[in-house]
Amino acid sequence: MRTVKDAGLKAQVLVIEPTGSETHVAARLGNSDILISQRERLSLNVGSPIRILPIIEQAHLFDADTGQRLN
């Protein structure tokens, strides 16, 4: 994920989990919740709006019902 001011998809931060080498961010994107893994340190707050630009080559999509990876 790349964060870029005034570009990308609008989302809202739900949870921030620093895990050592990565930070996991749960966010609401439209009517869906997404999980973002980020290696860069982010300065975010729960409830804050963010804009994200997914790196398509690194994105993993899963079926919400089965949990099966789609790509």
Domain boundaries, the chain: 2-58
Q: Find out whether 26 and 33 touch, Cβ atoms under 8 Å.
A: yes
Give the pLDDT confidence of 6-44 residue by residue, as tens digits: 678 899 999 999 988 999 999 999 999 999 888 887 889
Q: Is the pTM of this model over 0.85?
A: no
Residues 6+ apart with CB under 8 A from 7: 51, 53
For the domain bounded by 2-58, which CATH number is listed?
Answer: 2.40.50.140
In order of 5, 13, 15, 31, 52, the CA distances from 34 in angstroms are: 19, 10, 11, 10, 11
Give the pLDDT confidence of 39-60 residue by residue, as tens digits: 887 889 999 999 888 888 888 8
CA distance 67 to 33: 14
